[in-house]
Chain A
Amino acid sequence: DAKTTQPTSMDCAEGRAANLPCNHSTISGNEYVYWYRQIHSQGPQYIIHGLKNNETNEMASLIITEDRKSSTLILPHATLRDTAVYYCIVKRSQGNLIFGKGTKLSVKP
């Protein structure tokens, strides 16, 4: 499964959009981009995933570049409760979730 690169940490003002980048330059054609987050002392929470097209759900939007080598997770109106570690994971549909270090997002008032 392809590896991903994420910034170690990011800050975001409450109410603003949080844009979390992820590089996955070695992604293969059959690999999906998944995003999870882990709020302190809780199990990871699924956010969204995509293959080629941009995706949106009630939690976030996922923007995947045309060459699929990078993506951005967008939380449109960040709240204090969105403070968490965000993991970008690339895997085949039948592959295992392999977690990297993720991005620690701090939402500040």
Chain B
Amino acid sequence: SAVISQKPSRDICQRGTSLTIQCQVDSQVTMMFWYRQQPGQSLTLIATANQGSEATYESGFVIDKFPISRPNLTFSTLTVSNMSPEDSSIYLCSAASTSGRTLYTQYFGPGTRLTVL
């Protein structure tokens, strides 16, 4: 299994600012994902972070608001831009490896708890 760490673990930010969340995996993985969990809700997939190409965003999420980087096979960042109180959520990084068309088990980081004032 992959061990995933995230920084920061939590932050309180002012509206209109941006925050970059880092995700580090202890081994090389093919796929990395970013999820959002709003208060009292389930997880929603934001995007798949692709190494060497642009991220693939789910419906309702756009690159200008949530730019993602994936410089190598163990690291990714998610930026929450021009924040508003509605962006207050837990942001979770996830990773999995693939072989051919098989996506192996996804593992999750501990999450970043973001509060926007």
Residues on A lying within 8 angstroms of B by beta carbon are: 41-46, 49, 87, 93-102
Whether the pair B103, A93 counts as a contact (CB closer than 8 A) is yes
Given contacts A46-B106, A49-B105, contact A100 B42 (CB under 8 A): yes
Whether the pair B111, A43 counts as a contact (CB closer than 8 A) is yes
Residue of A nearest to B108 (CB): A43
Given contacts A42-B110, A45-B108, A94-B98, contact A99 B103 (CB under 8 A): no
Residue of B nearest to A96 (CB): B45
Whether the pair B92, A43 counts as a contact (CB closer than 8 A) is yes
Given contacts A42-B110, A43-B110, contact A94 B92 (CB under 8 A): no
Residues on B lying within 8 angstroms of A by beta carbon are: 1, 4, 33, 35, 42-45, 48, 92, 94, 98, 101-103, 105-111, 113
Q: Please, how many angstroms separate the alpha-carbon atoms of A43 and B37 in the complex? A: 10
Q: Please, how many angstroms separate the alpha-carbon atoms of A43 and B44 in the complex? A: 13
> Separation in Å of the A37 CB from the closest CB of chain B?
11
Given contacts A42-B111, A46-B106, A93-B102, contact A99 B48 (CB under 8 A): no
Q: Please, how many angstroms separate the alpha-carbon atoms of A41 and B92 in the complex? A: 11
Other contacts beyond A43-B92, A43-B94: 8, CB < 8 A: A44-B43, A93-B102, A93-B103, A94-B103, A96-B33, A99-B42, A99-B43, A102-B42
Which residues of the other chain, B, contact A97 by a CB distance below 8 angstroms? 33, 45, 94, 106
Given contacts A94-B102, A96-B33, contact A43 B109 (CB under 8 A): yes
Residue of A nearest to B110 (CB): A43
3 nearest A-B pairs in the assembled complex, by CB-CB distance: A43-B108, A99-B43, A99-B42
List 8 A-B residue pairs with CB atoms under 8 Å apart, sorted by A's residue number: A42-B110, A42-B111, A43-B108, A43-B110, A46-B1, A93-B103, A94-B98, A96-B33
